Structure 1
Amino acid sequence: MSAAAGTDIAALLLRLAVGGTMIAHGWNHAFGGGGIGGTARWFESIHVRPGRLNALVATATELGAGLLLVLGLLTPLAAAAVVGTMLVALMTNHLRNGFFIFRPGEGYEYVLMITVASCALGALGAGSWSVDHHADTHVDGWAGLALTAGIGVAAGVMTLAAFWRPEPHEG
């Protein structure tokens, strides 16, 4: 097997895993449990306000970015959307709970792995089995990583600055 074939396989597997996970997560926000209303209440409980607006935007982002990743379309931008979403999840909920996901409140190992896999996709590119490749719009290497990480971190930081209002710690 050539190195290029291995890269294409790796890109496809990462796109399907991360994209499929994001679609499932967004679908659950929209239709699982309490639906958008329940997701909005949860966002309010972790001080991300207004909860309904953020529930709608997060759900649309997860569904849209997931679908784009599965298709291999606008891959660095789709991966950036995942990075931004995971940064917000990390800061608002998971970081304070330690590393392991099985800890009370869920630690950050899951969001860290999704973030790193998304950055890897930015660097790897969508591969030959993608819309990006067939449209000759693929970006990879350092440029893909810079787009993914840079836009993702910027979007996450802007979202946190605009909507996260944690309660001040008394000390």
Structure 2
Amino acid sequence: MDTDLALLILRLALGPMLVAHGTNKVFGSGGLAGTQRWFEALGLRPAWLHARVAALTEIGAGLLLAFGLLTGLAAMAFVALMVVAMRTDHRGKGYFVFKGGWEYVLLVAMAAVALAAGGPGRWSVDRVLGLELAGPWWALVAAGGGIAAAALLLATSFRPSTRENVTG
């Protein structure tokens, strides 16, 4: 069994996927203005700032994870992004993604935590640089730090409309 190959495949599945999401927020059909309008509708204030921060964080964390650089910290960013998505865009829609639920974002967050636990593998920039940002401690950092960062962002910036507060 080649664990290094499995870790590389997982990194190359998650990293570019998040980069694509980030670049879509900037260059997709609605562009950054459309992302800003979407974030406004979700209740993220100020939406212009969160649209930019989300895009930058997705692109940055996705690239870091794909290259296996600062793996534990990149995984923490993945968890934070997915928890915010779970609480804003997917809240009140149940578990299943085909109903708009949080199934997918939970899977992405947990896969990132698994990478923080297992490390980026032999074919990574972390390995080349001799960085040890993986293992059980880093899995806790990724999960706990990501949840804490998301909670802080939500506490300071999530202001859904009154109607959403009643129905969401």
State the TM-score, normalizing by the size of structure 1.
0.92
Tell me which amino acid in the other structure corresponds to 2:52. Answer: L
Identity %: 49
Greater Cα shift, 37-46 or 144-153: 144-153
Q: Are 1:131 and 2:125 counterparts?
A: yes
Q: Are 1:141 and 2:138 counterparts?
A: no
Query: In structure 2, what is the equivalent of residue 29 of structure 1?
Result: 25
1:126–1:138: 8 Å Cα contact kept in structure 2?
Answer: no
How far the C-alpha of 1:46 sits from its partner, in A, is 0.9
Distance in structure 1 (CA, Å) of the matches to 2:63 and 2:132:
17
How far the C-alpha of 1:108 sits from its partner, in A, is 0.8
Query: In structure 2, what is the equivalent of residue 86 of structure 1?
Result: 82
Query: In structure 2, what is the equivalent of residue 115 of structure 1?
Result: 109
Q: Are 1:20 and 2:16 counterparts?
A: yes
Deviations along 1:80-109, one digit per CA (max 9) or x if unpaired, are: 101000000000121311111111xx1111
Secondary structure in 2 matching 1:115: helix
Q: Are 1:150 and 2:144 counterparts?
A: yes
How far the C-alpha of 1:149 sits from its partner, in A, is 1.0
Secondary structure in 2 matching 1:95: coil
Distance in structure 1 (CA, Å) of the matches to 2:138 and 2:118:
8
Distance in structure 2 (CA, Å) of the matches to 1:80 and 1:65:
9
State the TM-score, normalizing by the size of structure 2.
0.93
How far the C-alpha of 1:30 sits from its partner, in A, is 0.7
Tell me which amino acid in the other structure corresponds to 1:77. Answer: L
Alignment map for 1:1-20 (pairs within 5 Å): 1=1, 6-20=2-16
Secondary structure in 2 matching 1:94: coil
Deviations along 1:134-160, one digit per CA (max 9) or x if unpaired, are: 111122221120121122111111111
How far the C-alpha of 1:14 sits from its partner, in A, is 1.2
Number of residue pairs the alignment of both structures matches? 164
Query: In structure 2, what is the equivalent of residue 169 of structure 1?
Result: 166
Secondary structure in 2 matching 1:118: helix
Tell me which amino acid in the other structure corresponds to 1:29. Answer: K
Q: Are 1:42 and 2:38 counterparts?
A: yes
1:81–1:152: 8 Å Cα contact kept in structure 2?
Answer: yes
Q: Are 1:77 and 2:101 counterparts?
A: no
2:71–2:134: 8 Å Cα contact kept in structure 1?
Answer: no
Moved over 4 A (4+): none
